[in-house]
Amino acid sequence: MNYNSGKPISGLRSQIPKFVNFQNIFYFFCVLLLVIDFSFITHHETSFDSIPFFYAAFGFFGSVIFVILAVKIRKLLLRAEDYFDD
């Protein structure tokens, strides 16, 4: 079983600094949208989406939760690439 042939995560990280400026713009947009959302817009699709920053918080923490859950689930589900081939 060769689980280490995947792409090293350091390779991914080394790519990211090239996007530092892009990232700053990205975060600027995030904050800008939050400000607009907080100041001007009211949501009334459901009874609780009018809570300030609901969508932003849901998007962020929802993502963190399912990635962490996926990592936990992987321990149970991971098998070798040729597990079914025999």
Partner 1 sequence: MIEFPPGLILIFGAILVPILKGYVRLVWTLILPLFAFLVILSLPNGNLFSLNAFGQELQLMRVDQLSRLFSYVFLLASFIGGIYSFHLRDSIEAPASLIYGGASVGAVFCGDLLSLFVFWEITAIASVFLILARKTARARSSAIRYLIIQIGSGMLLFAGLTIRWHQTGNIDFGHIGLDSPGGLLIFLAFGIKCAFPLLHSWLVDAYPEATVTGTVILSIFTTKLAIYVLARGFAGTEELIWIGAIMASFPIFYAILENDLRRVLSYSLINQLGFMVVAIGIGTEMALNGAAAHAFTHIIYKALLLMSVGALLYRTGTSLGSQLGGLFKSMPLTAGFCMIGAASISAFPFFSGFVSKAIILSAVAHEGYFVTWLVLLFASAGTLHYVGIKIPYFAFFSSQPGIKVKEAPINMLIAMALAAALCIFIGVYPSLLYDLLPYPINYVPYTASHILSQSLLLLFSASAFIILLRKGIYPKQLNSTHLDVDWFYRKPGRDLIRYIFIMTSSFYNHLGSNLIDRFERFVYQLYRHHGPHGVLARTWPTGSMVLWVAVLLVAYLLFYFI
Residues that bind partner 1 (CB under 8 A): 2-3, 5-9, 11-16, 23, 26-27, 29-30, 33-34, 36-37, 40-49, 53, 55-64, 66-71, 73-74, 76-85
For residues 21 and 83, which CB has a smaller minimum distance to partner 1 in the complex? 83
37 half-sphere exposure, CB direction, 13 A CA radius: 17
Closest contact distance (angstroms) between CB of 21 and partner 1 is 14
Own/partner pairs, 39-42, CB within 8 angstroms, 24+ separation: none
For residues 5 and 21, which CB has a smaller minimum distance to partner 1 in the complex? 5
CA angle 2, 17, 34 (to 5 degrees): 110
